[in-house]
Amino acid sequence: MKILVCISSVPDTTSKISFTDGDTKLNKAGVTYIIGPYDDYALARAVELKEQSGAIITVLNVGNADAEPQIRKALAIGADDAIRVDVEPTDSYFVAEQIAAVAKEGNYDLILMGRETSDYNSGVVHGIVGEMLGIPSFSPVMQLDLNGNEAIMTREIEGGKEKLTASLPLVLGCQEPIAEWKIPNMRGIMTARTKPLKVIPAAGSALTTTEKYSLPAPKGACKMIPAEEAEKLIELLKTEAKVL
């Protein structure tokens, strides 16, 4: 069993977002980077599958050298080796193209990643990779078990969920509660330092460029209504906010 886990390196979800250089670059000062929260679920499930029935996990990041602490963390959590495609991850098609190129070389049974990255939230990379490789893709997957060559999954759908089965190889976009996030232990951190990390150049070219960033307009003051006159809220929502 060979599993490829694709991780993004993104600002911590509690980060305050701001921009520099005339709003053309993300201000990285004071921002802590983490493994994408959804990718972290995918990684955790891969490690569980490895513990249950053995697997070799390769972790893949499309990004520049700044992402290496997150890659080392993934190795500390339980991945066996890592590949970094050395390029700024601009758009979904471009990132998927890099992942598909690595996947074609490696013959993986499972390609796991988060349902979306928490920076651009597009949620399409897994599907594009699946199409490029000519294998099925499913997302968002909340449960994953393997029975030989068959994957038994639960996928979230609008207003509920469905159970489905399909044969490997597969590309899956993962989300909670597929597994609990894992925290690396000391031994994992020590061994991660010497696990192989291969850096390779990118292929193809980006299909989008970002011209400028902006922040939402600041919110006005909150209008407080005394609890004993709570019913007045409904009137205000009708006449003032006009949403009822």
Site for other proteins in 63-122 (CB under 8 A): 91-93, 96, 115, 118-122
Residue 239 engages other proteins in binding (rule: CB under 8 A): no
Instruction: Provide the token pair at 232.
Output: 């007045």
> Which residues neighbour 115 within 8 Å (Cβ) at sequence distance 6 or greater?
38, 123, 126, 139, 140, 141, 173, 174, 175
In 3D space, the residue among 198, 201, 199, 182 whose CA is nearest the CA of residue 73 turns out to be: 182
CB of 193 to other proteins, least distance (A): 30
Taking CB under 8 A as the criterion, the residue among 106, 127, 191, 197 binding other proteins is 127
Q: Which is nearer to other proteins, 70 or 92 (CB)?
A: 92
Residues 196-215 that bind other proteins (CB under 8 A): 207-215
Q: How far apart are CA 91 and CA 107, in angstroms?
A: 25
Residues 144-163 that bind other proteins (CB under 8 A): 156-163
Residues 26-65 that bind other proteins (CB under 8 A): 37-38
In what helix (H) or strand (E) does residue 56 lie, and over which residues does it extend? strand 56-62
Q: How far apart are CA 20 and CA 148, in angstroms?
A: 51
CB of 244 to other proteins, least distance (A): 7
Q: Which residue type, as a one-letter code, is found at position 158?
A: E
**Using CB under 8 A, which of the segments 10-18, 49-57, 58-66, 183-191 binds other proteins?**
10-18
